[in-house]
Structure 1
Amino acid sequence: MTRRNTIVLLTALVALASFAAAVLLYQHHDRQKAAEQAAASFNVMVREHSPVVGPANASVTIVEFFDPACEACRAFHPYVKHILAAYPKEARLVIRYVPFHREPSVAGVQVLEAARQQNLFEPVMDALMESQPVWASHNNPATERIWGFASAAGLDLEKAAAYLKTGAVNKVLEQDMADLQAVGVRATPTFFVNGKPLPEPDPRRLLKMVEGEVERSRRTR
């Protein structure tokens, strides 16, 4: 390799390293900005209309910005259930809807809200997550089949249809989308534990954050 080629190669490597460092710095800044925005908007994370799993007086609140048609949300689902089961009196989950996948997402929210009115939120949620690859397939969604899976989990379809006609679900979605913008959420699932953002999509990190908040709460009792 000639001296000139060596210089060119070294220059290219330095430029590449500088670019990589700039990308990492930007990503860190972007995450930090989102975290600051979320902390400033904590008062809009939990609304009276939001589905809640767990005790109302729990010391630890997990807020999940959730899309029923999101594959990553489905992957997180059993881990979130495990965390709630590990701390049944100290942790609660608040769901905020994010219909990023449009029609399948909206259908999922409609089913879940109808199920909540019938006190069937958790079993229907489990059914939707299990069957998600069918009704919310990104390649060939069969959205109409979602109601069959919900019915098999116990949902009364006639009552559900009557509830949807009230327009209540549309109002929930409008508020959640407004809060989504206020908090600065850009992807699903996005988690906050007592207002602190989960820095990376790792269920083990989520568990550690909940454990830390539980221990902190126990020490202050």
Structure 2
Amino acid sequence: MSKRSVVLVVSLFAIIGFAVAAFFYDRASTDPQAEVPVPKASSLVRFHSPSFGPADAPVTIVEFFDPSCESCRAFYPIVKQMMAKHPSDVRLVLRYVRLHKGSEEAIRILETARKQGVFVPVLEAVLESQGQWHDDATASAAWTAAGQAGLDVDKAREQMMSADITATVEKDAADATAVGVSKTPTFFVNGKPLTNFGAQPLYDLIRGEIDQSR
């Protein structure tokens, strides 16, 4: 396949991914008329939050994220691609939101994966299998996928109700409420809310913050 063909194929998948994300984003909203206010920085980035990219990156994306959310799943490769374009300039901080029956169970799976050092493969496996456990309170298929991705499931089930994981779940829920998050994914870039949802508006906001930092 020629280089031009590869670019066209990648672009096509990005467009399809965005279209799916935009569709489910509207469905995930609990208050379609709500506007996200500009939050205090302390409500966005917490020391306990999963973070990807350089700690000293000039641009920080904060994503309020529900592992049960179809739009979050569709946006995952889009955000990953954006970060790959600017590896030294951007970091991503994930904050958890619980909007579905299986959300909290999946969040606890991810946090045990972080304790075991297998967060990324488990995250990707849980998202890939989302259709099999979405709105299942026990998220049984997510557990199966996580185990196949390298999670020690028996150990994880012992860890999942630990005080620190519970504190993370509750703090993220409180911060999401404090900043007015009513749908997922909700993005902030250097504290600025993404008011026009979409892949291109998000990239434009990131690119603008990178340019300002130079």
TM-score tier, shorter chain, comes to 0.7 to 0.9
Cα distance between partner residues in 2 of 1:141 and 1:183: 26
Shift of 1:35: 2.7
Aligned to 2:37: 35
Cα distance between partner residues in 2 of 1:165 and 1:180: 21
Amino acid at match of 2:176: L
Aligned to 1:205: 201
Aligned to 1:7: none
Match among 160, 163, 168 for residue 167 of structure 1: 163
Q: Secondary structure at the match of 1:169?
A: helix
Q: Tell me if structure 1 keeps the 8 A contact 2:126–2:145.
A: yes
Aligned residues: 183
Match among 102, 105, 111 for residue 103 of structure 2: 105
Aligned to 1:63: 62
Match among 102, 114, 117 for residue 112 of structure 2: 114
Q: Tell me if structure 2 keeps the 8 A contact 1:134–1:141.
A: no
Aligned to 1:179: 175
Aligned to 2:213: 217
Q: Tell me if structure 1 keeps the 8 A contact 2:60–2:93.
A: yes
Q: Tell me if structure 1 keeps the 8 A contact 2:105–2:138.
A: no
Aligned to 1:45: 44
Q: Which has the larger radius of gyration?
A: 1
Shift of 1:74: 0.8
Cα distance between partner residues in 2 of 1:165 and 1:175: 15
**Does 2:66 align with 1:72?**
no
TM-score, L = length of structure 2: 0.80
Aligned to 2:142: 146
Bigger share in helix: 1
**Does 2:135 align with 1:133?**
no
Match among 149, 153, 158 for residue 157 of structure 1: 153
Shift of 1:170: 1.4
Aligned to 2:185: 189
Cα distance between partner residues in 2 of 1:150 and 1:76: 20
Shift of 1:198: 0.7
1:107-133 C-alpha deviation (Å, 9 max, x unpaired): 110111011111211111111111111
Cα distance between partner residues in 2 of 1:202 and 1:165: 35
Shift of 1:165: 4.0
Cα distance between partner residues in 1 of 2:48 and 2:138: 28
Query: Which piece of structure 1 moves more, 119-128 or 187-196?
Result: 119-128
Unaligned runs of 5+ in 2: 1-31
Cα distance between partner residues in 2 of 1:73 and 1:124: 15
Aligned to 1:86: 85
TM-score, L = length of structure 1: 0.77
Aligned to 1:22: none
Cα distance between partner residues in 2 of 1:201 and 1:212: 16
Q: Secondary structure at the match of 1:93?
A: strand
Amino acid at match of 1:201: F
Cα distance between partner residues in 2 of 1:107 and 1:162: 13
Amino acid at match of 2:127: M
Q: Secondary structure at the match of 1:35?
A: coil
Shift of 1:142: 7.0
